[in-house]
């Protein structure tokens, strides 16, 4: 017995970290593709002669599809398993539609492609987040922040890289080249994680799994889950936060390009600054939430986000605008892993995929509405007016956090 412990003890930390970093790299690419598309939107809008409202509808279509697909994705994760296969499929499904966009000249086909991206993205988070949270129950805020860092890295590097490529290539050539990293990472996930299943016997040092459950057990658990007050409040708050984030990502490049006259390279650099600040913020916020509690970190981050958005609206064409953008990224992106860790703690372990599916479904619903509303506001009152709308959405998100029950963080 002693010999067995001596052999397995040093191996235990090795495999989980390999899986954590591999999943994090996959998460980076699920964000890389949408971040690329935000930078391409001004070019696509000019080529197809689209209004701000029509540009906003493109992103709304993507997030409506994601909202509809997130809960079925959570059901699939909690009842079937096959984490590695689902993550590989998700990443492929996110990247491939962007390749199709490079060959279309139709606005309707563009909407179909972005809807496909939304469906693919809906499989990733219900699979990856509960897997990592169960593997590190005492440090889930930190581990999920590392996963979030992958998303921030993809968000940050994509505009910079694609902004540079667009100085040499057309946007259609860029989307064709862009599909290759996703295909490669999909294969890596399939090779290294494809055999991991929910319900399989846990090997030494692997990321933890919840027991597999039948559809009848799942149905009973789902009824209990949907009555969970913390789930409702956190998901609603997440929906308003997502409204802020995705409308900002849709209209900030347009504002920088059309109102401030920035080149595409400078627009990419500004978006890089926004996401890099989030990259730095994620592990700090995750660690602080493990030590100080989720509520205080979320409330402070949301309050600072609202303040900075108001400052952006006031700054207008001032050089301080881009500095405020970078600081905004720190607080806006610090929220994501903390909300996810809080939700995992406040809901049953065997419903982790569905819990995250509900959260991301709500966020996708908020994301689907915000770009369209922002586009209509921009058409009527100017692009600068959208920042007042964004400040209002993040204030609403904070109000729901203030209503969270005191025991919402300590559910078993």
pLDDT exceeds 70 at position 390: yes
pLDDT exceeds 70 at position 131: yes
Q: CB-based burial of residue 162 (10 Å sphere; 0-12 exposed, 13-18 middle, 19+ buried)?
A: buried
Give residue 200's pLDDT.
39
Give residue 127's pLDDT.
82
User: Which residues contact residue 153 at a Cβ distance below 8 angstroms, ignoring those fewer than 6 apart?
Assistant: 28, 31, 275, 279
Where does the pLDDT of residue 293 fall: very low under 50, low under 70, confident under 90, or very high at 90 and above?
confident
Q: Which domains does the chain have, with CATH numbers?
A: 2-197+221-404 (1.20.1250.20)
Beta carbons of 109 and 55 less than 8 angstroms apart:
no
Q: How many CB atoms lie within 10 A of CB 273?
A: 20
Tell me the residue length of the chain.
412
The residue that leads in pLDDT, 184 or 84, is 184
Where does the pLDDT of residue 310 fall: very low under 50, low under 70, confident under 90, or very high at 90 and above?
confident
Give residue 212's pLDDT.
56
The residue that leads in pLDDT, 20 or 14, is 20
Measure the CA–CA gap between 137 and 88, rounded to whole angstroms: 25
Mean pLDDT of 398-411: 69
Give residue 196's pLDDT.
52
Where does the pLDDT of residue 183 fall: very low under 50, low under 70, confident under 90, or very high at 90 and above?
confident
Nearest to 333, CA basis, from 292, 286, 374, 290: 286
Coil, strand or helix at 201: coil
Mean pLDDT of 160-184: 84
- What Å distances lie between residue 153 and 98, 280, 348, CA to CA? 19, 10, 31
pLDDT in tens, 69-117: 777 777 777 776 667 778 888 888 888 888 888 888 888 888 988 888 8
pLDDT in tens, 23-81: 888 888 888 888 888 778 888 888 888 887 788 788 778 878 877 777 777 777 777 66
Give residue 215's pLDDT.
65
Measure the CA–CA gap between 40 and 34, rounded to whole angstroms: 10
Give residue 265's pLDDT.
79
Measure the CA–CA gap between 371 and 57, rounded to whole angstroms: 7
pLDDT in tens, 357-383: 888 888 878 887 888 888 889 888 888
Give residue 17's pLDDT.
66
Phi, psi of 319 (to 5 degrees): -60, -20
Give residue 283's pLDDT.
81
Mean pLDDT of 308-331: 79
pLDDT exceeds 60 at position 153: yes
Mean pLDDT of 250-260: 83
Where does the pLDDT of residue 206 fall: very low under 50, low under 70, confident under 90, or very high at 90 and above?
very low
Mean pLDDT of the chain: 78
| Torsion angle (degrees, nearest 10) of CA 281, 285, 286, 289 | 180
Mean pLDDT of 188-205: 57
Mean pLDDT of 148-152: 81
pLDDT exceeds 60 at position 3: no
Measure the CA–CA gap between 243 and 230, rounded to whole angstroms: 20
- Residue 255 CB-half CA count within 13 A: 26
pTM for the whole structure: 0.68
The residue that leads in pLDDT, 332 or 232, is 232
pLDDT exceeds 80 at position 170: yes
Give residue 15's pLDDT.
40
Round the CA-based radius of gyration of the chain to a whole number and report it.
Answer: 21
- Residue 344 CB-half CA count within 13 A: 28
The residue that leads in pLDDT, 396 or 315, is 396
Where does the pLDDT of residue 199 fall: very low under 50, low under 70, confident under 90, or very high at 90 and above?
very low
pLDDT exceeds 60 at position 143: yes
């Amino acid at each position: 017995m002693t010999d067995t412990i001596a052999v397995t003890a040093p191996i235990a930390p090795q495999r989980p970290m390999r899986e954590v970093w591999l999943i994090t790299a996959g998460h980076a690419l699920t964000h890389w593709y949408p971040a690329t598309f935000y930078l391409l939107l001004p070019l696509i809008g000019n080529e197809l002669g689209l209004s701000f409202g029509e540009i906003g509808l493109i992103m709304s279509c993507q997030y409506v599809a994601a909202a509809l697909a997130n809960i079925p994705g959570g059901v699939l994760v909690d009842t079937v398993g096959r984490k590695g296969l689902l993550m590989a499929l998700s990443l492929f499904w996110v990247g491939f539609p962007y390749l199709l966009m490079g060959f279309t000249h139709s606005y309707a086909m563009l909407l179909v492609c972005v809807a496909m991206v939304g469906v693919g993205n809906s499989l990733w988070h219900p699979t990856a987040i509960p897997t990592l949270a169960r593997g590190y129950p005492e440090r889930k805020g930190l581990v999920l922040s590392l996963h979030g860092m992958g998303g921030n890295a993809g968000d940050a590097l994509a505009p910079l890289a694609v902004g540079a490529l667009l100085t040499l290539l057309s946007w259609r050539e860029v989307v064709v080249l862009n599909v290759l990293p996703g295909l490669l990472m999909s294969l890596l996930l399939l090779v290294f994680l494809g055999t991991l299943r929910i319900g399989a016997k846990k090997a030494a040092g692997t990321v933890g799994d919840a027991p597999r459950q039948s559809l009848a057990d799942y149905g009973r658990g789902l009824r209990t889950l949907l009555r969970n007050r913390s789930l409702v409040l956190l998901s609603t708050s997440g929906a308003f936060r997502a409204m802020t984030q995705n409308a900002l990502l849709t209209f900030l490049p347009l504002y920088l390009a059309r109102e401030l006259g920035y080149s595409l390279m400078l627009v990419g650099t500004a978006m890089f600054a926004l996401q890099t600040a989030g990259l730095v913020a994620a592990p700090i916020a995750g660690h602080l939430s493990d030590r100080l509690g989720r509520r205080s970190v979320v409330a402070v981050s949301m309050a600072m986000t609202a303040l900075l958005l108001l400052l952006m609206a006031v700054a207008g064409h001032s050089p301080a605008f881009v500095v405020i953008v970078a600081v905004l990224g720190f607080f806006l992106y610090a929220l994501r892993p903390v909300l996810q860790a809080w939700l995992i703690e406040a809901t049953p372990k065997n419903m982790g995929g569905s819990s995250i599916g509900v959260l991301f479904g709500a966020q996708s619903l908020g994301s689907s509405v915000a770009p369209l509303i922002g586009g209509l506001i921009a058409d009527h009152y100017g692009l600068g007016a959208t920042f007042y709308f964004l400040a209002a959405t993040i204030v609403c998100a904070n109000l729901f956090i203030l209503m969270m029950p005191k025991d919402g963080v300590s559910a078993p």
